[in-house]
Amino acid sequence: MPHRFVSYTIAGETAVRVGTVVDGSVAEITPPDPSFRAGGLAALLAQGSQAACQAADQAIAAGKRVPLDKVRLLPPIPHPGKIICLGLNYADHAAEGGHAKPAYPSFFMRGATSLIGHEAPLRRPRVSTKLDYEAELALVIGRRARHLTQSEALSAVAGYACFNDATLRDYQRKTPQWTIGKNFDGTGAFGPWLVPAGDLPPGASGLKIESRLNGQVMQRDNTANMLFPVVETLCLLTEALTLDPGDVVVMGTPAGVGYARTPPVWMQPGDRIEIDIEGIGVLANTVQEEA
């Protein structure tokens, strides 16, 4: 049975728990090493995939479960040390925005305060109505890594999740740097859970990826079409910086985003946006106006 790791809270509590989803319920993972609990899912993943999966299997065997609809799912890694994103990583998306095929990835950063989990409100801020969706594959780093080679890059990946890199397009274009339009609070949906890398094809390649807005398919592509696949991306990143357990890399979006349509399509309060990646699951959020 594929493992699906979650970070979550239970109503009336503030403590962040780590669990695995099975048969519509969540089994809490409580490994014997208390540092796992203190460090959350990132600390568990740092022990290695085998240890993490064994802990999940033990939790399932223990039989103590909470119905999935009774918990609040958080981003799988609620507070990543780094969130590194790629722009223009599908040729058709680059073309629809008037960009040439890049020779090097367009890297930018997100902050942890922008993240929300599955079914949390996706916030449209009071200062803009130009809120756009972006279906993306996210990977989570499982071990400290620098100067990765192609042969070892995938050993640094703990697992994969869905991501909606929702963007305020007018703010993105106020400056040559994309950072401000990509970091509004409550715009980076991440989840619904983390699927271990071993449960998916190498590099999560060959998976169908799509976004649906109010049930209508807006983007549809395949992760095999990424211009800079996971291995190459990790090799390039670790030329420059160290990746730590729990860091997140978000792999870019296919064509079909709202700003490139005629007329443009912006997400409105009450809209339902779903990111669906084969073998991982469906990340769903409803747009809500900022109070």
| Rounded Cα–Cα distance for residues 7 and 194 (Å) | 9
pTM over 0.85: yes
- From its phi and psi, is residue 196 left (phi > 0), alpha (psi between -120 and 50) or beta? beta
SS3 190: strand
| Rounded Cα–Cα distance for residues 147 and 92 (Å) | 30
8-state DSSP, 215: T
Instruction: Residue 71: name the closest of 4, 138, 18 by CA.
Output: 18
Question: 161 pairs with which residues across the strands?
Answer: 138
Q: How far apart are the first and last CA of the chain?
A: 42
Q: Would you place residue 37 in the very low, low, confident or very high pLDDT band (cuts 50, 70, 90)?
A: low
Higher pLDDT, 64 or 170: 170
| Rounded Cα–Cα distance for residues 278 and 209 (Å) | 7
Q: Would you place residue 260 in the very low, low, confident or very high pLDDT band (cuts 50, 70, 90)?
A: very high
- CB-based burial, 33-42: b 16+ in 10 Å, e otherwise: eeebbebbbb
pLDDT, one tens digit per residue, over 261-271 is: 999 999 999 99
Fold for 83-289, please state it.
Answer: Fumarylacetoacetate hydrolase; domain 2 (3.90.850)
Delimit the domains of the chain by residue range. 5-73, 83-289
pLDDT, one tens digit per residue, over 3-31 is: 899 999 998 888 899 999 999 999 999 75
Is the pLDDT reported for residue 34 higher than 80?
no
8-state DSSP, 59: H
- Segments in the chain forming alpha helices (H): 34-45, 49-62, 91-96, 169-172, 230-240
Neighbours of 50 (CB within 10 A): 10
Which residues are within 8 A (CB) of 168 and not within 5 positions of it... i.e. 6 or more apart? 125, 128, 130, 131, 132, 181, 184, 187
